[in-house]
Amino acid sequence: MRITGINFLQKTNYKNNQYDYSQYRTVLNQPAARDTFTFSNKVSHPSFVGKQEQISRDPLTKLYSEHLNCLCCGREMIDPKVITQLDEIGVFRGSANDAIQILQQYEANMHTVEQSVFKILKKEAELNPDKNIKQIIVDLKNTHEKPLRQKQLGIFKMIDRAALKIKPELHKEIRNYLIKSAETIKEGNNSFSRKRFINDIEEILKNYPNTTNKENLIRLAGKLPTAYDDADAFIVKYANPRYKSDAIAIRLLSYSMATIEHIHPLDSKDIKGPNHLYNYVPECKRCNSFRSNNPMIYQLEEYPEMFINAQNLFDRLIGFANAGKLSKMYIIKLYKALYQESEGMLDLDYSKLQMTNDLQKELKKPYEYPVNPDKPNIIKVKPPTFPKPVNFFEKPEQQPTEILPEQMYNRPLISKRKQKRITANEANKTTRLKPASTKTKKSKGQKKTTIKKSHTKK
């Protein structure tokens, strides 16, 4: 059976209907099933649920004003209090020029997509100083809608091509759904949802065996651009009337905000991560949302620079601990927790910490998940220990090689027959006597004649 390709770009005059570009919703709207965090050091987020009580995170939240860098991406995080104050004052509701001047101070803190959008807004604000951020975003929508639409329909084509490798009836169902979704985008009624699209593709393939083809289709569906990773999607999404100027400006800053990350996820599949100081570490909102409840090894695979950024943050925290602003025991617990959660990959250097005998003893103990002291009935679980990673910068120890008899005598390799003769001669060397000398002294005349004869022979 021959199945021909489809063209999603048949119409030219239509609007984009994109409504939800991001699968990473704001933290305030996240369900309790995800790993969550708080905006400030005073108010705990209501979605922190569990059997254990929350142990104070104040020692870490008080350090937000010290411009900590993120554990994962390494960017300098913004104190949540600063963002809250800017929002309460309403500085972003006026002209775009005034808002840009304030946002300019935090441009280095923004992530890649937010920086791209900020540069676009900054350029447009110079041309239209009387407009606010929302008006500029609405004006930019038509310009950025077309490239976004091309990206979306391009992904649809890739999904349709990859679906050729599965059963014909499933391919037909996927193709019909792609055509329907493409028409929804062209109508421009803001009813297309990326998250719903991925869920529908998974629903179509739920009875199909878990093969490489199925994983590839779901992976391609996840490639649809979002406001999380695409500037065009960001502008089109926030051109929606529901978003105001101050909400757009806060969105540019909020993903760089300092949050509290659970080292072992709160909603882990095996052991629930406790709400305990020893299970907390500072991390920006974007990286916190990206990880969700996945193992930390996923972050290390996605961000190899995390090996450097984690050590930089760890050194800063050690400095605060040595200065008395943070518990030294927390540093040791943090080291062991990160080592455990990263499966031995994050073996941080704690040599700058001023150690005591108690810290040395704690360091030698096996890692245990932290448990609240007022819950004695909770069983402590000792996680498996991981072998120490290989240090590729150390030279391996050279093993001594077997010395051959020929090497002991500093002689070249010889035959066995000759070796036996040499051994026998050396064994009889002490018993043998030197023969008496039979040489006689020659007279002067004999010596001369011998020399002459030698000349004549030559």
Quick: pLDDT tens for 339-355. Answer: 999 999 999 999 999 99
For 261-280, what is the mean pLDDT? 87
pLDDT bin (cut points 50, 70, 90) of residue 370 is confident
- pLDDT score of 221: 94
320 shares its domain with 248:
no
- pLDDT score of 398: 61
132-158: per-residue pLDDT in tens? 999 999 999 999 999 999 999 999 999
Among 372, 395, 425, the domain boundary falls at 372
The closest alpha carbon to 95, from 126, 61, 51, belongs to 126
Classify residue 436 by its DSSP letter: P
Q: Report the chain's mean pLDDT, rounded to a whole number.
A: 80
Contact 64, 77 (CB under 8 A): yes
Per the DSSP assignment, residues forming a β-bridge with 192 are 18
C-alpha separations of 113 from 15, 37, 99, 119 in Å: 23, 22, 18, 10
378-397: per-residue pLDDT in tens? 556 667 766 666 666 666 66
Per the DSSP assignment, residues forming a β-bridge with 18 are 192
Is 241 within the bounds of a domain? yes
Per the listing, tokens 């979002």 go with 226
- pLDDT score of 133: 95
Is 449 within the bounds of a domain? no
pLDDT bin (cut points 50, 70, 90) of residue 442 is low
174 shares its domain with 283:
no
- pLDDT score of 50: 37
Structure tokens at 268: 């882990």
54 shares its domain with 84:
no
Is 337 within the bounds of a domain? yes
50 shares its domain with 90:
no
pLDDT bin (cut points 50, 70, 90) of residue 43 is very low
Task: With both helix axes pointing from N to C terminus, report the angle between 194-204 and 212-221 in degrees, rounded to the nearest 10.
Answer: 160
pLDDT of 259 strictly over 90: yes
pLDDT bin (cut points 50, 70, 90) of residue 336 is very high
Among 347, 372, 397, the domain boundary falls at 372
Among 228, 254, 280, the domain boundary falls at 254
74 shares its domain with 89:
no
User: How far is C-alpha 132 from the chain's CA centre?
Assistant: 37
Per the listing, tokens 């040489």 go with 439
Is 421 within the bounds of a domain? no
290 shares its domain with 208:
no
Is 381 within the bounds of a domain? no
The closest alpha carbon to 254, from 279, 226, 283, 286, belongs to 286
The closest alpha carbon to 75, from 287, 301, 223, belongs to 287
169-205: per-residue pLDDT in tens? 999 999 999 999 999 888 876 778 899 999 999 999 9
- pLDDT score of 413: 59
42 shares its domain with 150:
no
Residue with the bigger pLDDT between 266 and 58: it is 58
For 4-19, what is the mean pLDDT? 46
Distance between CA atoms of residues 214 and 191, nearest Å: 26
Residue with the bigger pLDDT between 456 and 286: it is 286
Residue with the bigger pLDDT between 311 and 53: it is 311
Per DSSP, the three-state class of 354 is coil
133 shares its domain with 87:
yes
107 shares its domain with 171:
yes
242 shares its domain with 304:
no
Per the listing, tokens 């030219």 go with 12
Is 90 within the bounds of a domain? yes
Structure tokens at 10: 């048949």
242 shares its domain with 298:
no
- pLDDT score of 400: 57
pLDDT bin (cut points 50, 70, 90) of residue 446 is low
The closest alpha carbon to 233, from 23, 8, 10, belongs to 23
C-alpha separations of 418 from 204, 212, 250, 414 in Å: 83, 67, 91, 7
Residue 281, domain extent: 30-78+260-372
Residue with the bigger pLDDT between 304 and 402: it is 304
Distance between CA atoms of residues 240 and 76, nearest Å: 30
Classify residue 282 by its DSSP letter: E
Is 388 within the bounds of a domain? no
When divided into structural domains, the chain yields a total of: 2
Is 427 within the bounds of a domain? no
Pinpoint the alpha helices (H) of 222-270: 231-238, 245-254
Structure tokens at 97: 């020029």
- pLDDT score of 100: 94
pLDDT of 49 strictly over 50: no
215 shares its domain with 283:
no
Residue with the bigger pLDDT between 56 and 73: it is 73
89-139: per-residue pLDDT in tens? 888 999 999 999 999 999 999 999 999 999 999 999 999 989 999 999 999
pLDDT of 277 strictly over 60: yes
